[in-house]
Amino acid sequence: MRKWLLIAAVLVAFGAVRWAAQRPLTRSAGTLVSAEPRQTSPADDAPVAFGDFVLTPLADFELEARVLSREDYGFGTESALSPTDLALGWGRMSDSAVIGQLEIGQSGRFYHYRWRDQPPIPPPEIVRSSANMHMIPAHDAVARDLARVRVGQVVSLRGRLVEARRADGWHWRSSLTREDSGGGACELVLVDAISPL
């Protein structure tokens, strides 16, 4: 009986953490993040062994961004490497007045948005000012920090954009531009640090 009570308590705690992560935070209007993501050549491009995967750094990457949506995954090869996707916005895509006019969601490792009559800002600006990013926690402390990230928060992130490969030929490569959309446009980020601002 005690074993079942412990299992039930763990499940309730997991559900509470997941609910808190999905519940949006309320923010006032105005651009909360003015800077664009910063991407530079990797300081160290040596491949990194990561479980069954080998990660090749493509760029060092830093940003401050507002969390527009999050989706957690538990099945498939990708989830073994990246259990969480964050849709992130900066510039006017961090402004509640803009975000409030968009319906934003994630599914199947994609981020999507739509509007009713007219877009609140030009669609090319939405593309340039937001992205779906596949998060690879570099270690357990980052995984714990990532688990606490909530929709609506402004976060600071530091890491590396990578290409992942496995011995059986499977591979997954990060986008290296914020100008793209659709398949292959997401960033694959080995996250060294993430924290709320």
What are the pLDDT digits (tens) for 62-111? 999 999 999 999 999 999 999 999 999 999 999 999 999 999 999 999 99
Question: How many domains, in total, are found in the chain?
Answer: 1
d(CA 110, CA 121): 21
For 120-136, give one letter per residue: b (16+ CB within 10 A) or e: bbeeeebbbbbbbbbbb
CB 161 within 8 A of CB 189: yes
pLDDT tens digits, 28-75: 568 899 999 999 999 999 999 999 999 999 999 999 999 999 999 999
Structural domain boundaries enclosing 147: 2-196
Report d(CA 188, CA 169) in Å as an integer: 18
Question: According to the model, what pLDDT value does residue 30 have?
Answer: 86
Give the whole-angstrom CA distance, residue 128 versus residue 93: 9
Q: For residue 1, how many other CB atoms are within 10 A of its CB? A: 5
Dist CA 37 CA 30 (whole Å): 19
Neighbours of 92 (CB within 10 A): 20
CA 192 remoteness from chain centre: 13
Quote the CA–CA distance of 78 and 76 in Å, as a whole number.
Answer: 6
Instruction: Tell me the pTM.
Output: 0.85
